[in-house]
Amino acid sequence: MCGIVGFIGKKEASPILIEGLSKLEYRGYDSAGIATMDNGNISVAKCKGRLANLENKLKEEPVKGNIGIGHTRWATHGEPSDINSHPHTNEVGTISVVHNGIIENYIQLREKLISKGYKFCSETDTEVIPHLIDYYFKGDLVEAVIKAVSRMEGSYAIGVISAKEPDKLIAVRKDSPLIVGVGDGEYFIASDVPAVLNHTRDVYYLNDNEFVVLKHDGVTILNEENEKIEKELSHVTWNADAAEKGGYEDFMLKEIHEQPKAIRDTMTSRIALGKEITLDKITLTKEQIEKIDKIYIVACGTAYHSGVVGKYVIEKLAKVSVELDIASEFRYREPLINENTLMIVVSQSGETADTMAALRLAKSQNARVIAVTNVVGSSVAREADDVFYTWAGPEIAVASTKAYITMLIAMYTIALFLAEKKGTLSKEEIENIKKDMLELPDKTEAVIKDKEEIQKYASRTYMHKDIFFLGRGLDYAVALEGSLKLKEISYIHSEAYAAGELKHGTIALIEKGTVVIALATQNNLFDKMLSNIKEVKTRGANVLAFALEGDKKIEGTVDKTFYLPNINPLLAPVLSVIPLQLFAYYVAVQKGCDVDKPRNLAKSVTVE
Ligand code: M6R
């Protein structure tokens, strides 16, 4: 849950490392540090807090050298502090390491190293790494790193520099992302592509247990046996600007505005009128699909909420039973899996530890796995049998918006794909849904244009302490996501309820002035929803409702109605989530919260 970078070339490393880290702050931001090497001497600068603190420190005490490593941290072992910040070094400061992940057996390793006379100064798991490399160094740094890594259990992407061999930077990954950027006479490592995009578009996506040695004259990739391996260089086609704020105040607002494009891109080449659904990286045949007797959708957080929609639409359209699971529960509950099980894992980052574990569990029991992910070459993409890439582009804000909306598109597309193969819908029914889907980019655009209405409402409600979201059916799925968005960036307590369930307990919390946001886009449930709204109104709630254009019946019952463009109710979640994202955003802004980097959270949760 951290970001690492590394550089070797002719330029000064320090500004390049800082710039790379600025693109990775979304991975963690409670401390930052760099180590550079000059004339065989390593200098380390690190401190608690945002990257800006490190930049200030470097202004006072610059570090020199044209080789270096850097780190932005999200604390797991040891509180955020200067001493716990990375890079960590061996006692004499000749080996320096940055690490993203967790060394699970660090206590045993630490005890062993202490018994050999090594001294530790931080509370981190990472500090064992430079000591271990030191312990195994017998004149060859690569061999020492390979040996040290073979003793480590857990997840890691690490970058190493050493005064013992000042001409190289060594890196390796297992269960944590790592890419290698190949520039003109300069080479990079990073946890994510945006960190290198200002310098190169040519990257290697490393697999688990692959080591890379960066030198001034090139890159060598090795396996655990210290044997050279060949890898294909990938060319990144998306723009570096895509990872910048582009004039918006925050990444989150920018990403909300990018949703029409993200939806369009995700449908492109997959959904076209008069043509079969094309999913190029899903090779499931009609025969294999017919044998599937159960689908699990497994994910965490917002990705899980897209799965709530997925369950509704896959069962409705493809007539196959879907179980929905939170990945951290699924992996420990002995779920029933066999070769007729299809698992759909959903993960924006493709690196979420619990989701990965669920995927591996399903694979070990012969299930077929489709990964829905936004990150090309991510762990879930590499380990699943089939992949559905959502083309949302890089999502930087911790609170997911455009990735979520493209996950919804993935759910609809997979449901239609299965329905088409199984023949559970007629050609005409499929064409009608596709036609409605193709209208989504324009309709989402229209919803975003009305953002000022939401902003006004947010400015009247931001001081409330509790906010409830209600919905039935697909509206309930969206209520869950709206509530999570509000909680994570504005720190307001909020609950999402299936509207019919409220009277079984939670309605006790409704009192005069309680804010209730009610979603009422599902025409088959509209009257039921209206009754539930009346139940909270009677108890004094102040209700904002979301309904589809034309459903005027709701107006007399609620305090304010926000109308969404008319759409097939099956697809309404794609529209109705947008005002909820905007509501969370404007409430957080009014409260002065750091929208893109909410407290206690990280973009990618690569630990359990
Ligand atoms: O990368 P993933 O989609 O697997 O991440 C799952 C959750 O950690 C993520 O959706 C989280 O809930 C977001 N902060 C929500 O905005």
Give the pLDDT confidence of 99-138 residue by residue, as tens digits: 998 898 999 999 999 999 999 999 999 999 999 999 999 9
Task: Report the pLDDT averaged over residues 557-571.
Answer: 96
φ, ψ for residue 554, nearest 5 deg: -75, -25
Cα of 603 vs centre of ligand 1, distance in Å, is 7
The number of the ligand 1 atom at minimal distance from the alpha carbon of 302 is 10
Ligand 1: residue of 359, 605, 607, 608 to mutate (most ligand atoms within 8 A of CB) is: 605
Cα of 303 vs centre of ligand 1, distance in Å, is 6
* Residue 286 CB partners (closer than 8 Å, separation 6+): 421, 422
Two tokens, residue 388:
């559905």
CB 241, CB 412: distance < 8 Å: no
CA 381/CA 348 separation, integer angstroms: 11
Q: Please confirm, yes or no, whether 300 is among the known catalytic residues.
A: no
- The gap from C-alpha 282 to its chain's centroid, in whole angstroms, comes to 22
The number of the ligand 1 atom at minimal distance from the alpha carbon of 601 is 14
| CATH hierarchy code of domain 252-438 | 3.40.50.10490
Class of domain 446-591: alpha beta
Q: What is the H or E stretch that residue 113 is in?
A: helix 106-115
Statement: residue 457 has pLDDT above 90? yes
* Residue 441 CB partners (closer than 8 Å, separation 6+): 260, 261, 263, 264
> 288-321 in b/e burial notation, b at 16+ Cβ within 10 A?
ebeebebbbbbbbbbbbbbbbbbbbbbebbbebe
Q: Is the CB of 606 under 6 A from ligand 1?
A: no
Intrachain domains 252-438 and 446-591 with the same fold: yes
pLDDT category at 312 given cuts 50, 70, 90 is very high
Q: Please confirm, yes or no, whether 121 is among the known catalytic residues.
A: no
Summarised one tens digit per residue, pLDDT across range 236-274 is 987 666 666 777 989 999 999 999 999 998 998 899 999
Query: pTM to 2 decimals?
Result: 0.80
Ligand 1: residue of 348, 383, 595, 600 to mutate (most ligand atoms within 8 A of CB) is: 348
CA 574/CA 71 separation, integer angstroms: 37
pLDDT category at 152 given cuts 50, 70, 90 is very high
Show me where the domains of the chain are located: 3-244, 252-438, 446-591
Q: Round the CA-based radius of gyration of the chain to a whole number and report it.
A: 25
Cα of 301 vs centre of ligand 1, distance in Å, is 5
Summarised one tens digit per residue, pLDDT across range 412-438 is 999 999 999 999 999 999 999 999 999
* Residue 159 CB partners (closer than 8 Å, separation 6+): 4, 5, 6, 69, 97, 98, 169, 170, 171, 189
| CATH hierarchy code of domain 3-244 | 3.60.20.10
